[in-house]
Amino acid sequence: MDPRSLISHTQTLLRTEPFSDHYRLGVKELGRHVGLRTPRDLLLEDRCCVTSSRGKFAVVRRCVELITGKEYAAKFLRKRRKGEDCRTDIVNEIAILEMAHFSPYVVDLHEVYETSSEMVLVMEYAAGGEIFNQCVADQDEAFTEKDVIRLIDQILQGILYLHRNNVVHLDLKPQNILLTSCNPLGDIRIVDFGLSRQVDRIKEVREILGTPEYVAPEVLNYEPISTATDMWSVGVLTYVMLTGESPFLGDTKQETFLNISQVNVDYSQEVFAGISEQAVDFIKSLLLKNPRERARAEQCLKHPWLSSLTEPEPLKDDKALKKNEGDLKASDNTEEIVLLASYTVCCPCRDTMDTELKVLRKPFTGSLAEIQPELVC
């Protein structure tokens, strides 16, 4: 993994006093699912430093701040993994969380602790847990289509914020989308930026990143990564939330990867029983092999399917309201998001982005060094 594609500076104070002096840890880990796949489908995860809240190098646990009694989620990250120093990856994650502070749909970073062996990210606690639980629930407990419309709309707003700030998530899946509450159904929080990258206008990077069922064909083919890579994952995520099935899952990892490469998707009435044609059309606009043909986040937000929700959204929590106040101060300037790499390429997102969504924009300063293609093993 080329460190030049990572952000190396943060503003958050790294506290060095004992974490236990300020927080009481819960016993249970947060996040217990790896994905809708067989244990054999782990090839891509083995090539990533951090893949989920239950990964080999990261553990997330609920904690309580002693002085306030407020609940948070503490993510413990080992700085050395497989004999390599991965502190720069953690710093990159912190920097992206700082950048996304004013997005109401990205988890909020509270503070950071560092010891000789690990770093602890203290973040907002989303009491509703992963949306994975509803994706695989019985029909009477699963999401309704109206639920999915509202949640996908929020996910897209969070992703649009990241993309307009030149960041791609690269690991969007049900385990990385949390809910502020389950009953009533709350708002979403996008989490786990361990694989996220900053992108710029001209350069591209090629890396094997992500979770097998949700990665785009260009990742498997070791082709340039772009914001369109995230949009493929949104398509898979929408499919899973609506049907409870993983569109590309095979009996082996090779079959899963073949299904992705050939875009073998079942859009039959049997799978989408009771689901609108507009929902299927929305998914089809994203699960396209050519990244240039996929709908962008701002285009998705204008799709008729998302506009079909007539009921008002529930009142946002204090964090969302506070962040939306910050949106009013947003700059009207937007920038194009393109492919990452070591040579100039044609961008799949050359159209001027609309500014109908008032999103605070705090672009990264400075320029990235030229990134050389590199296979991560």
Residues 6+ apart with CB under 8 A from 261: 217, 220, 221, 289
Q: How far apart are alpha carbons 261 and 147 in whole angstroms?
A: 30
> 59 has which bridge partners?
76
Active-site residue 171, yes or no?
yes
Catalytic residue among 89, 171, 192, 200: 171
Q: Which helix (H) or strand (E) holds 92?
A: helix 87-99
- How many other CB atoms are there within 10 angstroms of residue 346's CB atom? 8
> 74 has which bridge partners?
61, 122
Q: Given its phi and psi angles, is residue 364 left (phi above 0), alpha (psi -120 to 50 degrees) or beta?
A: beta
**Exposed/middle/buried for residue 245 (C-beta within 10 Å: 0-12, 13-18, 19+):** middle
Instruction: State the DSSP string of 333-366.
Output: --------SSS----TT-SPPP--S-----PPPS
Q: Looking at this protein, which amino acid is placed at residue 82?
A: K
CA angle, residues 42, 91, 114, in degrees to nearest 5: 100
Strands (E), 10-160: 14-15, 23-29, 58-65, 71-78, 80-81, 84-85, 109-114, 118-124, 129-130
Query: In the chain, what is the straight-line distance between the N-terminal and C-terminal CA atoms, in Å?
Result: 8
Cβ(264)–Cβ(239) below 8 Å: no
Q: Which are the catalytic amino acids?
A: 171
